[in-house]
Structure 1
Amino acid sequence: MSSAVRIHLDLREPERQTVRVSLSWSPETVHQSWQMPVWTPGSYTVRDHVQHLHSLRLESEGGPVPFRRVTPSRWQADLPHLAPLTLSYAVEARNLTVRTCHLDPDLASLCLAGLAMEVEGCRWSPHQLTVSAPKGWSVHVPLDHCGEGWIAADFDALVDSPVHAGSLDVRHFRVLDHQHQLLLIGTPPGGWPPRFFDDVIAVCEATCRLMGTPPPAADRYQLVLILLENGYGGLEHDHGAVLHYSWAALEKPEGYRQLLQLIGHEYLHQWNVRRLRPAELRPYNYGSAVISEGLWFAEGITSYFDLALTLLAGRSDRPTFLADLGDELSRVQLTPGRRVQSLSDSAREAWVKLYKATATSRDTQVSYYRLGAATAFCLDVRLRQRNSSLSSLLRRLWGSHGRSARGFHRGDIQALLAESDPTLSDDLATWLDQPDSLPLEACTQELGLRLDPLMRSSPDPGMTLRDEGGAVLVSRVRPGGPAATAALVPDDELIAVRGRRLRRMTDIPGLLKGSAPVPIVYARRGCLAETHLIPDEAVDRWLLSWDPGSNASQRALRDQWFQIL
């Protein structure tokens, strides 16, 4: 395949945690340009993968070709003639996440957005991948085999195909007669739960029922599950997903259910966000951040349904689903930033806020995952009151935009809502653009449910603390809370409370008990000062539960809502 761009990954020195990369192609013009992606699709922040690159060389007919750097991640060269080119470089692979690259003597987990260069003019040309791995390793890529390697239809398909290598546990399973591959990296201390593989199949099949179609990835779906001591996350791909999960969490019933929900979340992304994609992300621009408010739909809708997939799969029950949804709604209610940042702005600002959160971010920001899921809940309730459902809307949008790979806009969603009731289109605009505008209490009441606050059992100082080097420091101060009134700010060191030396933050609750105000000695920039704090009550969490006083109409709507489809 002479027109293909050929990329080779050399993993044969895993102890150096460095991948040697070579890229070869036949130029058609003397002016050549190439760039490394600055972000990983599915993870919306600029990561500057180029920071891990070194030893870049360009050669033609065995000799070096001069080139120049025009941006931190882009280079250019003017060629003396049109001979084949080879670009070689090394990339340090020491970051084990689903969106970056890691190599060690046991494992390679590689995200090609952090390794592959996009050659200008070759983006839509085939890319042929080969890998040299240590002896005894197997290499797995969700691409079609071609000779000794794999072939990608274009650069997008290449970047979208994670590479995993090592001594891996490879399993196969079928979903609606389609062959899938499961790569297991790591083993739980007590072994895999007896029904684990059956449960995975059940969740995947439930997702297909939700969407009303077989899996879009067909026979090429590859699910990679990496168990870690601590870790949680996933990244979707057209033909698979890579998941990180804690083996310790897996030992608990709620942790096991959360893993199944994570699998369902990433499996649903085959439809929503990979193929049914916001218009601004079709096609991807690998060279800069791409602003899209549609991320609330891509992640929020998916987050809402992932809670229900275990119920739809028969792996949980209604009270459990209600508890999981209640936890999600509680997190939204406990985030002060929902009063400051709108849902559409949360999506637009993901690049500079959500993925770069600090201890105080929750005071001015809200996650489009969680607020998006709460918005999905409200949409679902309102649609069901009109003999429709959110799942029906998602299937219709898939049929009109996902199947044909058309990017969708807000207006496309509003048009579908308006078919049920024009006021729903206006409601969505309000919920997206106005902070703290969701009618959560009304929607729960319409289902014969209650969303009630549970107060903290101990006095609330209105601040979050951390232990650091034997000192107790303030990490966050709740706006308008007791610590804010006492003029404390983040990074203040608390020295003493009620005349008692403070050694660790776990001592605080006991020292706050008693009469108020509470005298506190603190240090700021090395200078001692004193203040007085008056603790107050605060909501610990919100509980979603059945309303024993619900009427027949509310119970009927609730039963319909529990059907999910």
Structure 2
Amino acid sequence: MFEPVQVRLDLSHPQTQTIAVSIKWTPQSQRQTFQLPVWTPGSYTVRDHVQHLHSLQLLANGEELPVRRMAPHQWLYDLPDLSPLTLNYQLEARDLTVRTGLLDPDFASLCLAAVAMDIDGCRWSTHHVVVKAPEHWSVHLPLETSAEGWVATDFDALVDSPLHAGPFQAEPFMVEGKSHELLLIGTPPMGWPPNFISDIEKVCSATCRLLGTPPPAGDRYQLVLQLLDQGYGGLEHDHSAVLQFSWSALAKPKGYRQLLQLIGHEYLHQWNVRRLRPIELRPYDYGQAVITEGLWFAEGITSYFDLSLPLLAGCSDRPTLLKDLGEELSSVLMSPGCSIQSLAASAREAWIKLYKATPASRDSQISYYRLGAAVAFCLDVRLRQRGHSMAAILRELWQGPGRQARGYSRDHIKAAVAPWDADLAADLDQWLDQPEALPLIDCVEALGLRMDPVPLKHPDHGLTLKDAEGAALIQRVRRDSPGQRAGLVVGDELLAINGYRVRRSSDLSVLLEKQECVNVTYARRSLMKETRLFPDTGVDHWTLDWDPGCTTEQRQLRDRWFEIV
């Protein structure tokens, strides 16, 4: 039986924004390696957490050992014997995201994938955790507690457990008879809605009904919500989720519903992503990027259902769901990248593209979240036509590869679909591998709905500008747009339209109004140039609405689709 690994985190000097980490273990072999993960599971890009590490020391019997660095994130030492070892290092924690870590005098928010070392030979050993924090702080970890701190069954469980500490307490809530806790960090200026915790319970319970099981985290689930001046997103874990949301967004008409959708999205990840996982991610390889096309299912299916969870929870209505789904489908129809990048490629290239997007990325890329949600919608409609549903497919996969802790592949999904619609299983290959292969409009019409184009309010130029010290610089030139046909490129500075000075990005739409052709003066690498631009009319976005002329059969199918589960 291997001895537990002892992990000590010292947060007692938050003003330094530095964590002191100490790890003690007994090696099992004389060649000892250890590494800091290069990425955070759930966020598929190499983040090189090691950039924040310094003052590393490996000690045996009180004496420092000369370790050898094998890679930026990995070290090696050949031991003379198997005496216990202590590894000490410092980590700067100045990045408040759900994937990294922050420590300051107000609170600590740490993703332990950015903190803890993976010791060779100890990955599947128990890890005991002790945290030293300021006296007036409470420490929260979604792990089993011990007399001195917390216990993680293995390294995976350790780094999957976000740490939060500060002068705040957890609020209890219940889901399907299971005890959960809510950490609220920050308060909106207008205060929290009086039914907030009740609505969270309803959304989480609706998620359980969707999957047909109680929450797999049981009585140990922690929901952390950081309310900031700006920010949006979340990161899922086996027994928790960490969310960021802005109080200004919360104040908008649809802000509260978006927050409930985000909560539902991350809560659903307990099943889909954390336990029902693409085969390439079982187990995780913390030392390198792991390519998988399964992210479209992991995130796209979850994004599709998070739109409907407020309705299933009784916190929304059918017209509102259509509005939200319409916005998602519109974003796909309006994306030039849909004609370039397939959904499977979007997932495989997440490490180098989605998480490192530039303003120009939309012209050659499509998000597997949004296109994945559109594919989920089309799958759902086709399955509804056969008396089945996408929710039922998700439940079937959960009962198979999910509960059995096996990874899934495309073949598993096709095998689940094929008994209901053999053609759909074949079509799925095209939807995943071929750009613009998705029959989106056909599926919308099958439900007695329609997508209506909304025209642009101003002439279309295809340029995205940014303001910089009194100058308007081109950030993006949309593919096949008037701007591209005029020869303008990213980095050009717009100086004048028909002789009128352009000083800010908002000037452009005014100067193009009611113009069929304009003379553009611009600068490229300090050289003055001129061109002619012919603005277009075009579509601003699409809306999803009822089709008053639909048939009884279409209405009946739509009603079944609205049942969600």
Q: In which range does the TM-score fall when normalised by the shorter chain? A: over 0.9
Q: Which residue in the other structure is 2:350 paired with?
A: 350
Q: Which residue in the other structure is 2:130 paired with?
A: 130
Q: Which residue in the other structure is 1:39 paired with?
A: 39
1:497 matched to 2:497? The reply is yes
- CA deviations 1:266-299 (Å, max 9, x no partner) are 0000000100001000000000000000000000
Secondary structure in structure 2 of the residue aligned to 1:488 = coil
Q: Which residue in the other structure is 1:303 paired with?
A: 303
Q: Which residue in the other structure is 2:384 paired with?
A: 384
1:94 matched to 2:74? The reply is no
- Distance in 1, matches of 2:137 and 2:515, equals 66
Is the Cα contact below 8 Å between 2:138 and 2:169 reproduced in 1?
no
- Distance in 1, matches of 2:102 and 2:88, equals 19
Q: Which residue in the other structure is 1:473 paired with?
A: 473
Report how far residue 516 of structure 1 moved: 2.7
Secondary structure in structure 2 of the residue aligned to 1:386 = coil
Report how far residue 249 of structure 1 moved: 1.1
- Distance in 1, matches of 2:302 and 2:515, equals 48
- Distance in 1, matches of 2:559 and 2:520, equals 53
Alignment of 1:110-189 (within 5 A): 110-189=110-189
- CA deviations 1:65-106 (Å, max 9, x no partner) are 111000010000011222110000000000000000100001
1:286 matched to 2:286? The reply is yes
- CA deviations 1:386-438 (Å, max 9, x no partner) are 00000000000101111111111100110111010110111111100000111
Report how far residue 253 of structure 1 moved: 3.0
Q: Which residue in the other structure is 2:26 paired with?
A: 26
Q: Which runs of 5+ in 2 are unaligned?
A: none
Report how far residue 57 of structure 1 moved: 0.3
Report how far residue 332 of structure 1 moved: 0.8
Report how far residue 252 of structure 1 moved: 2.3
- Distance in 2, matches of 1:347 and 1:138, equals 39
Secondary structure in structure 2 of the residue aligned to 1:219 = coil
- CA deviations 1:356-394 (Å, max 9, x no partner) are 000100000000000000000000000000000000000
Partner AA of 1:501 in structure 2: R
- CA deviations 1:110-132 (Å, max 9, x no partner) are 00011100000110000111100
Q: How many residues align?
A: 565
Is the Cα contact below 8 Å between 1:169 and 1:185 reproduced in 2?
no
Secondary structure in structure 2 of the residue aligned to 1:419 = coil
Q: Which residue in the other structure is 2:412 paired with?
A: 412
1:483 matched to 2:483? The reply is yes
Report how far residue 30 of structure 1 moved: 1.4
Partner AA of 1:108 in structure 2: A
Alignment of 1:168-247 (within 5 A): 168-247=168-247
Q: Which residue in the other structure is 2:524 paired with?
A: 524
Alignment of 1:539-558 (within 5 A): 539-558=539-558
Report how far residue 464 of structure 1 moved: 0.8
Distance 1:501 1:210, change over 3 A: same
Report how far residue 159 of structure 1 moved: 0.4
Is the Cα contact below 8 Å between 2:515 and 2:535 reproduced in 1?
no
- Percent identity reads 62
1:375 matched to 2:372? The reply is no
Q: Which residue in the other structure is 2:53 paired with?
A: 53
- Distance in 2, matches of 1:50 and 1:28, equals 25
TM-score norm. by structure 2 comes to: 0.99
Is the Cα contact below 8 Å between 2:2 and 2:125 reproduced in 1?
no
Secondary structure in structure 2 of the residue aligned to 1:297 = helix
Is the Cα contact below 8 Å between 2:385 and 2:557 reproduced in 1?
yes
Report how far residue 515 of structure 1 moved: 3.5
Partner AA of 1:444 in structure 2: V
- CA deviations 1:306-358 (Å, max 9, x no partner) are 00000000000000000000000011111100100000000000000000000
1:510 matched to 2:510? The reply is yes
Q: Which residue in the other structure is 1:535 paired with?
A: 535
Secondary structure in structure 1 of the residue aligned to 2:437 = coil
- Distance in 1, matches of 2:185 and 2:2, equals 36
Report how far residue 169 of structure 1 moved: 3.7
Partner AA of 2:31 in structure 1: H
- Distance in 2, matches of 1:81 and 1:470, equals 66
Report how far residue 457 of structure 1 moved: 1.3
- CA deviations 1:39-76 (Å, max 9, x no partner) are 00000000000000000000011111111000010000
Partner AA of 1:324 in structure 2: D
Secondary structure in structure 1 of the residue aligned to 2:254 = helix
- Distance in 1, matches of 2:437 and 2:292, equals 21
- CA deviations 1:11-49 (Å, max 9, x no partner) are 011111110101100112211000000000000000000
Alignment of 1:430-469 (within 5 A): 430-469=430-469
Is the Cα contact below 8 Å between 2:250 and 2:259 reproduced in 1?
yes
- Distance in 2, matches of 1:82 and 1:478, equals 61
Is the Cα contact below 8 Å between 2:98 and 2:244 reproduced in 1?
yes
- CA deviations 1:419-461 (Å, max 9, x no partner) are 1011011111110000011101100000000012111011111
Alignment of 1:10-25 (within 5 A): 10-25=10-25
Secondary structure in structure 1 of the residue aligned to 2:219 = helix
Q: Which residue in the other structure is 2:63 paired with?
A: 63
Runs of 4+ aligned structure 1 residues displaced above 3 Å come to none
Q: Which residue in the other structure is 1:402 paired with?
A: 402
Q: Which runs of 5+ in 1 are unaligned?
A: none
Secondary structure in structure 2 of the residue aligned to 1:7 = strand
- Distance in 1, matches of 2:333 and 2:469, equals 33
Partner AA of 1:163 in structure 2: L
Report how far residue 215 of structure 1 moved: 0.1
Is the Cα contact below 8 Å between 1:279 and 1:406 reproduced in 2?
yes
Report how far residue 2 of structure 1 moved: 7.2
Is the Cα contact below 8 Å between 2:454 and 2:540 reproduced in 1?
yes
Secondary structure in structure 1 of the residue aligned to 2:404 = coil
- Distance in 1, matches of 2:463 and 2:316, equals 37
Q: Which residue in the other structure is 1:262 paired with?
A: 262
Partner AA of 2:560 in structure 1: Q
- CA deviations 1:201-257 (Å, max 9, x no partner) are 000000000000000000010000000000100000000100000011112230000
Q: Which residue in the other structure is 1:85 paired with?
A: 85
The answer to which of 451-460 and 203-212 deviates more is 451-460
